[in-house]
């Protein structure tokens, strides 16, 4: 059991350590406890080692001494000789300064004292609490090996230990006792001197011991409940990784997840010792288990990590092309300066490599010396500080198609290097260091929404960090259909007839009321294309919503269903002359988004007031098919055509009263609408006749468990701010999906199950004919077996319909209980773009709709 710096820094943590150790003893295990230095102490010792002034060094020792004595007093231990011995040794070292044995040797000895002191405290405390614990000097057990290319710095400060199973060690320890405590971070060098295992190396000590002793298990106890899909301090929505194999965990650790030292997995791989990471403060949380066996799961990105402090060395030489041995010459210089190369990119006349500061103990001298050597054979450019962002997951190459939205985020950034590891486990981007903090949370979110990180696979991904440690976020168990009364109603409906859409009107109304809290929005239009069911139109009109239609058919439906005083907007795209005539004949306000109608059919609009939809040059949204801006999209008038449009309008006595833009769907960032308002307002200032701005819809609804919903309060704040800058325009919006998505579910029944190799197909009685979104957008919808909601979901299924199309897949790699023919399945969040997109393909019958009024 290894306890990290924060786990050994206070009395309450030591009490936990005692409990955990005692419980392992009760299970009959022998126990070796490996401890880090108290948090902050290694840093303090490092500073001390750089201090030239002796009295300042002694003052630092005084502080370190006081910190340990204070904890000892908290522990109720009066005195321990071990602590005194190590404090005295530390004093002597600080007093003498770097001896004739060399600065690095001295530094290693000094830094070793953090762990020597913490383990002394631990031995005294555990023994006092009735768990006799023997102190062990790690340097008597762990021997460093010297590899030929290790320079002195590496040998002394970042040593490697031989980990072949050692039976004599096991016997020796057995004779010492059943509970032992020792130091992380330190080992014995080949001349008997103290060596260190690199910063954060206590994890590695634990696994060296684990391998040497063939332990049952290595447990890493730290300040977080395991390895997460991203650094949880940076990405609160990061999900716990419940189980990992050695290779993937290794990759995550190497590429920046500080929770495990990158060197600590390889010693365990061959003896197949599992490693468990848990939170000392909250041992009841399940943690991450890393081991040889991992069950079948969806192909998925497992984590995104980042490493700062990356230096790129770009080597340019015209003479390099086909010149035998150039790389050998160049790399020889890296070897000579003890610098290990991480990523490599090459072109005809350029090779660029990255150096990782953690691996290289980089100092500017080494880099400068390398530079002047390399200058002999090529032109050198050093690019720093950079950061490497890495996506990790087995089979990365087969996931590229899901990464388009993620890659789009790199749009405006300087990407210096892209590297795809030959083991197919990672994809790395080197960018400027200053962009990383903002980028990682966004990329993590996109990985989930694009389905590249399959956070829905509960066998693999556990709770999000914030749901365990922070405030609660979106959770399906809060959905209306999850409540017991609704479930039994839905089950009864599903047993009667399937397939069937069911809409819950109270949910529609609740969403509508949430939007009505937006204080500066003057008019909300429901975009009826999302769901044209009369009951929904009616309910939303009652809630005070206007309606937005995109076709004569929708206009007819709206006029038939809602009272005449409900305002209508008609926003067609590539509408025919006939369509526009029909629109103009209705009471709707017409929006145009092209030059052609005003240039060729101007007489239709003479004397009328219209809205102009512009293309702000970029699109947004959860899938390329829903991004409705930029040259790749057919919507909106390009800005460069506006003057021409206005000229036609002027000539034909057409007044442009409103400006409109809608960039796409599924947007969860409130700032987006503020930007649209700002851009439209500055265009409107130029035009003069404008009185209102329609900033579109696209308000996202989180679909994946744990995803944060759109913050409406934040949206309100954003809108209030932009409205203050341009207060003279009325503000309109046109949400669709936001109002109705969660209100609808699709009920369908299990027809049959088919096994094919490792794949299991679960057939249901409808497919893409009823619900097109998964096939069209790769959209993810929660799917549950309503008949077995309480049963353990341990099978992995592809949920498919009866349509003769390979794309007829409603959900892939879903974790579900063992199904039976006739079970009622529920597909969630289909109130928007469900029924309205359905077809009669394969002449499958119509899917009926049921409305629940309460």
Binding site for Mg ion (CB under 5 A): 4, 200
The pair of three-digit structure tokens given for residue 493, joined into one six-digit string: 């409906």
Using alpha carbons, select from 729, 744, 829, 735 the residue that is nearest to residue 516. Answer: 735
Report 76-135 residues binding ligand ASP (CB under 6 A).
Answer: 114
The one of ligand ASP, ligand ADP, Mg ion, none whose footprint includes residue 42, by CB under 5 to 8 A per kind, is: ligand ASP
The one of ligand ASP, ligand ADP, Mg ion, none whose footprint includes residue 184, by CB under 5 to 8 A per kind, is: ligand ASP
Helix (H, G, I), strand (E, B) or coil at 731: strand
Contact with ligand ASP (CB under 6 A) among 185, 461, 526, 692: 185
The one of ligand ASP, Mg ion, ligand ADP, none whose footprint includes residue 37, by CB under 5 to 8 A per kind, is: ligand ASP
658: contact with ligand ADP by CB under 6 A: no
Contact with ligand ADP (CB under 6 A) among 1, 6, 699, 830: 6
789 to each of 688, 783, 824, how far by Cα in Å?
A: 59, 11, 10
In the numeric block, the tokens 């070796």 are attached to 32
SS (H, E, C) 46-115: HHHHHCCCHHHHHHHHHHHHHHHHHHHHHCCCCCCHHHHHHHHHHHHHHHHCCCCCCHHHHHHHHHHHHH
> Of 119 and 311, which has the nearer Cβ to ligand ASP?
119
237: contact with ligand ADP by CB under 6 A: no
Contact with ligand ADP (CB under 6 A) among 122, 189, 198, 200: 200
75: contact with ligand ASP by CB under 6 A: no
> Of 277 and 743, which has the nearer Cβ to ligand ASP?
277
CB neighbours of 361 closer than 8 A, spacing ≥ 6?
Answer: 153, 154, 157, 158
Is the dihedral angle over the CA atoms 111, 116, 122, 125 positive or is it negative?
Answer: negative
The one of Mg ion, ligand ASP, ligand ADP, none whose footprint includes residue 274, by CB under 5 to 8 A per kind, is: none
CA dist 126 and 70 (Å) reads 17
508: contact with ligand ASP by CB under 6 A: no
Stretch that binds ligand ASP, among 198-206, 239-247, 413-421, 568-576 (CB under 6 A): 198-206
CB of 7 to ligand ADP, least distance (A): 6
The pair of three-digit structure tokens given for residue 292, joined into one six-digit string: 């040889």
CB 659 within 8 A of CB 593: no
Using alpha carbons, select from 705, 598, 702, 586 the residue that is nearest to residue 648. Answer: 598
Tell me the residue number closest to ligand ADP, measured at CB: 4
Task: Report the 10 Å Cβ neighbour count for 18.
Answer: 18
Report 206-235 residues binding ligand ADP (CB under 6 A).
Answer: 222-224, 227-228, 230-233
The CA-CA-CA angle for residues 6, 8, 12, to 5°, reads 95
The one of Mg ion, ligand ADP, ligand ASP, none whose footprint includes residue 715, by CB under 5 to 8 A per kind, is: none
Stretch that binds ligand ADP, among 5-13, 104-112, 555-563, 609-617 (CB under 6 A): 5-13
The one of Mg ion, ligand ADP, ligand ASP, none whose footprint includes residue 232, by CB under 5 to 8 A per kind, is: ligand ADP
Run of H or E including 120: helix 103-128
> Of 229 and 769, which has the nearer Cβ to ligand ADP?
229
Strand partners, 354: 312
Kind of pairing, strands 500-504 and 160-161? unpaired
CB of 186 to ligand ASP, least distance (A): 9
202: contact with ligand ASP by CB under 6 A: yes
Contact with ligand ASP (CB under 6 A) among 6, 72, 126, 200: 200
250: contact with ligand ADP by CB under 6 A: no
Q: Is position 804 annotated as part of the catalytic site?
A: yes
Kind of pairing, strands 303-316 and 350-356? antiparallel
Strand partners, 162: none
Is the dihedral angle over the CA atoms 449, 450, 453, 454 positive or is it negative?
Answer: positive
**Burial (Cβ within 10 Å: 0-12, 13-18, ≥19) of residue 53:** exposed
Report 358-387 residues binding ligand ASP (CB under 6 A).
Answer: none
CB of 306 to ligand ADP, least distance (A): 9
Residues in the site for ligand ASP, rule: CB under 6 A? 4-5, 36-37, 42, 114, 184-185, 199-203
Instruction: Summarize as ranges the residues that interact with ligand ADP (CB under 6 A).
Output: 4-7, 36, 200, 222-224, 227-228, 230-233, 257-259, 303
State the catalytic residues.
804
């Amino acid at each position: 059991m290894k306890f990290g710096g924060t786990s050994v820094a206070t009395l309450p943590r030591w009490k936990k350590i005692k409990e955990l150790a005692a419980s392992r003893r009760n299970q009959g295990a022998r126990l070796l406890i490996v401890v880090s230095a108290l948090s902050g102490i290694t840093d303090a010792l490092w500073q001390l080692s750089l201090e030239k002034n002796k009295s300042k060094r002694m003052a630092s020792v005084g502080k370190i001494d006081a910190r340990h004595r204070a904890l000892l007093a908290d522990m109720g231990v009066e005195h321990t000789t071990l602590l005194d011995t190590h404090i005295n040794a530390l004093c002597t070292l600080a007093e003498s300064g770097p001896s004739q044995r060399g600065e690095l040797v001295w530094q290693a000895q000094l830094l070793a004292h953090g762990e020597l002191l913490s383990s002394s405290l631990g031995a005294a405390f555990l023994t006092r609490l009735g768990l006799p614990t023997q102190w062990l000097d790690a340097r008597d057990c762990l021997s460093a090996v010297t590899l030929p290319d290790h320079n002195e710095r590496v040998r002394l400060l970042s040593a490697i230990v031989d980990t072949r199973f050692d039976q004599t060690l096991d016997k020796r320890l057995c004779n010492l006792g059943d509970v032992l405590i020792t130091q992380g971070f330190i080992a014995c060098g080949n001349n008997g001197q103290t060596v260190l295992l690199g910063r954060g190396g206590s994890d590695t000590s634990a696994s060296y011991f684990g391998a040497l002793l063939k332990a049952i298990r290595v447990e890493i106890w730290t300040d977080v409940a395991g390895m997460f899909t991203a650094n949880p301090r940076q990405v609160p929505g990061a999900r716990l990784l419940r189980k990992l194999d050695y290779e993937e965990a290794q990759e995550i650790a190497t590429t920046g997840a500080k929770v495990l030292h990158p060197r600590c997995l390889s010693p365990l791989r061959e003896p197949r010792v599992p490693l468990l990471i848990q939170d000392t403060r909250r041992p009841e949380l399940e943690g991450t288990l890393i081991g040889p066996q991992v069950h079948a799961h969806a192909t998925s990105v497992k984590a995104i990590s980042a490493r700062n402090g990356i230096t790129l060395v770009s080597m340019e030489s015209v003479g390099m092309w086909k010149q035998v041995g150039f790389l050998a010459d160049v790399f020889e210089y890296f070897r000579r300066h003890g610098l290990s190369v991480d990523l490599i990119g090459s072109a005809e006349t350029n090779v660029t490599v990255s150096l990782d500061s953690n691996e290289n103990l980089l100092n500017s001298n080494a880099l400068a010396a390398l530079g002047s050597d390399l200058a002999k054979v090529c032109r050198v450019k050093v690019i720093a500080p950079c950061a490497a962002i890495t996506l990790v997951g087995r089979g990365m190459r087969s996931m590229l198609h899901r990464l388009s939205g993620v890659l789009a985020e790199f749009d405006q950034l300087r990407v210096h290097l892209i590297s795809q590891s030959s083991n197919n486990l990672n994809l790395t981007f080197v960018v400027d260091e200053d962009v990383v903090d903002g980028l990682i949370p966004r990329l993590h979110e996109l990985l989930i929404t694009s389905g590249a990180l399959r956070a829905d696979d509960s066998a693999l991904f556990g709770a999000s960090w914030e749901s365990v440690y922070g405030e609660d976020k979106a959770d399906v168990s809060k959905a209306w259909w999850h409540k017991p009364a609704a479930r039994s109603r839905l089950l009864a409906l599903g047993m009667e007839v399937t397939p069937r859409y069911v809409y819950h009107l109270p949910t529609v109304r609740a969403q509508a009321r949430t939007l009505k809290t937006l204080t500066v929005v003057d008019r909300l239009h429901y975009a009826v294309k999302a769901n044209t069911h009369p009951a929904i139109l009616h309910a939303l009109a009652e809630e005070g919503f206007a309606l937005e239609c995109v076709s004569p058919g929708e206009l007819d439906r709206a006029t038939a269903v809602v009272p005449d005083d409900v305002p209508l907007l008609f926003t067609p795209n590539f509408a025919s002359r006939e369509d526009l005539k029909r629109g103009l004949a209705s009471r709707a306000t017409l929006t145009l988004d092209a030059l052609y109608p005003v240039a060729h059919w101007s007489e239709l609009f003479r004397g009328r007031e219209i809205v102009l939809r512009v293309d702000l040059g970029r699109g947004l949204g959860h899938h390329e098919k829903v991004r409705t801006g930029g040259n790749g999209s057919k919507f909106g008038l390009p800005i460069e055509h506006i003057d021409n449009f206005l000229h036609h309008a002027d000539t034909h006595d057409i007044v442009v009263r409103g400006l409109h833009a809608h960039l796409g769907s599924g947007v969860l960032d409130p700032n987006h609408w503020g930007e649209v308002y700002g851009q439209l307002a500055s265009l409107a200032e130029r035009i003069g006749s404008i009185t209102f701005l329609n900033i579109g819809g696209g308000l996202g609804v989180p679909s994946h468990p744990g995803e944060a919903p759109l913050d409406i309060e934040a949206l309100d704040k954003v809108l209030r701010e932009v409205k203050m800058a341009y207060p003279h325009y009325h503000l309109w919006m046109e949400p669709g999906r936001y109002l109705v998505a969660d209100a609808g579910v699709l009920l369908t029944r299990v027809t049959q199950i088919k096994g094919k190799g490792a794949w299991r197909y679960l057939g249901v009685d409808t497919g893409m004919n009823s619900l097109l979104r998964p096939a069209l957008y790769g959209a993810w919808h929660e799917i549950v077996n309503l008949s077995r909601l309480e049963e353990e979901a341990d099978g992995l299924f592809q949920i498919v319909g009866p349509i003769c199309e390979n794309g007829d897949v409603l959900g892939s790699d879903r974790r579900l209980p063992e199904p039976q023919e006739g079970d009622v399945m529920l597909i969630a969040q289909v109130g928007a773009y469900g029924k309205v997109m359905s077809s009669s393909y394969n002449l499958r019958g119509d899917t009926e709709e049921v409305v629940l009024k309460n």
